[in-house]
Amino acid sequence: MTYALMVQGAPYSQQASHSALRFAEALPAQGHRVATVFFYHDGIYNAASMMTPPRDEPHLLERWRALHQTQQCELLVCVASAVRRGLLDEGEARRHGHSHPTLEAPFELTGLGQLMQAALEHDRLITFAP
Amino acid sequence: MESKSILVVVRHPPHGSSWVREGLETALVGAALGQPPNLLFSGDGILALLAHQQRGALGQKGSAAMLEGLSLYDIEPLWYDRHSLEARGLDASQLIPGCQQASTADMIARHDVVMSF
């Protein structure tokens, strides 16, 4: 089966992101795969490109990137949630007069329509909330 | 796009966080894509349906006006969990017009996709 995940919890503050990652990473061994991860609410901070945790803590950003690599999943970030919280890709940064992007590929800024589409297209949608 | 029944569940109270607004926005996007979800208020989410509400404490737009506009997008009725209402000492007459009672378990069982806020 293909799975869509909705992640609503901020990284490091709550369990939601860790649980979502563990769930997604465990799928291939069961014959499934994650096709879309949609970050919403404070979950958008999982895509902060300058995330720099201490070395002895899990690096969630790298884990998401690895997930993208191994399962070819899309990592979608709600643009409305992200921009108001300061996560901007290169285009949005330029448009709002900032010198640096704070979000970069493989994460993509996208709308809620993509969440709805993921829910309809894939076999399961699982919400990971704080 | 494949047609599935969608349930959006609002579980958080209307003021002090952005959960209700984000749940409603998700429901509206579903409606805009031609898939109007059912909207269920459960747990503390039921408080969003109380009549005569003003803006919230976060300086964000209140949810009351959004709730009133949902019927224009074919999101109606607004379902509420009966047990959640009773547990909070509330009565259906205190809710905004257009609400209808349901059971959370039944609603979840009857839908293909459940989105929880």
- Number of structural domains, chain A? 1
Domains of chain B as residue ranges with CATH: 6-116 (3.40.1260.10)
A127/B contact by beta carbon, under 8 A:
yes
CATH number reported for the structural domain that contains residue A84 in this entry: 3.40.1260.10
CA atoms within 13 A on the CB side of B24: 25
> CB B113 to CB A127 under 8 A?
no
Reported ipTM: the value is 0.88
Distance from the Cα of B27 to chain A's closest Cα (Å) equals 9
- 3 state DSSP class of B15: coil
Question: pLDDT 10s per residue in chain B (117 long)?
Answer: 568 999 999 999 998 888 999 999 999 999 999 989 999 999 999 999 999 887 766 666 778 888 989 999 999 999 999 999 999 999 999 999 999 999 999 999 999 999 999
Q: Report which DSSP code applies to B75.
A: -
pLDDT digits (tens, 9 = 90+) for A8-51: 999 999 999 999 999 999 999 999 999 999 999 999 999 999 99
A126/B contact by beta carbon, under 8 A:
no
Q: Active-site positions of A?
A: 78
> CB B25 to CB A112 under 8 A?
yes
Domain that holds residue A44: 2-128
Q: Is the pTM of this model over 0.90?
A: yes
A119/B contact by beta carbon, under 8 A:
yes
B40 Rama sector, left if φ>0, alpha if ψ -120 to 50, beta otherwise: beta
**Model pLDDT, residue B53:** 86
Closest CA to B51 of B16, B77, B5, B14: B14
Residues in B whose CB is inside 8 Å of some CB of A read: 1-4, 6, 18-19, 22, 25-26, 29-30, 32-33, 35, 113-117
- Please state, as a whole number, how many other Cβ atoms lie within 10 Å of the Cβ of residue B70: 19
Q: Report which DSSP code applies to A71.
A: H
